[in-house]
Amino acid sequence: MPITSSAKKALRQSKTRRGRNIKQKDAYKDAVKTYRKLAAAKKWEDAAMKLPAVYKSLDKAAKTHVITKNKARRLKSRLAKIAPKKK
């Protein structure tokens, strides 16, 4: 356990940040899972409606350094490829 007051404060801060990071990570993972399930079920209209929310959660996670920007870009690219091409 921390002894000094600054170490105690650092522990409080890290616990708060960890909780916030986990919440945000779960949010983007749930959004991605939901989108993939809709795409697998070939519910393209519902999936198209969900895609902006998925992008938003990925961008927010990258902005706050929960995930790297390249990971967010990679996931967005792969999710966009899932949707059928319009002719």
- Our CA angle for 78, 57, 62, nearest 5°, is 80
47 occurs within a structural domain? yes
* Whether the predicted pLDDT of 65 surpasses 60: yes
- The whole-angstrom separation of Cα 18 and Cα 76 is 24
Task: Tell me whether residue 4 is in a domain.
Answer: no
For residue 28, being part of any structural domain is answered with yes
In a domain, 13, yes or no: no
Q: How far apart are the first and last CA of the chain?
A: 62
Domain membership flag for residue 15: no
* Alpha carbons 27 and 79: distance in angstroms, whole number: 16
Average pLDDT across the chain, whole number = 93
The boundaries of the domain holding residue 46 are 24-82
- Per residue in 25-50, pLDDT (tens digit) is 999 999 999 999 999 998 888 999 99
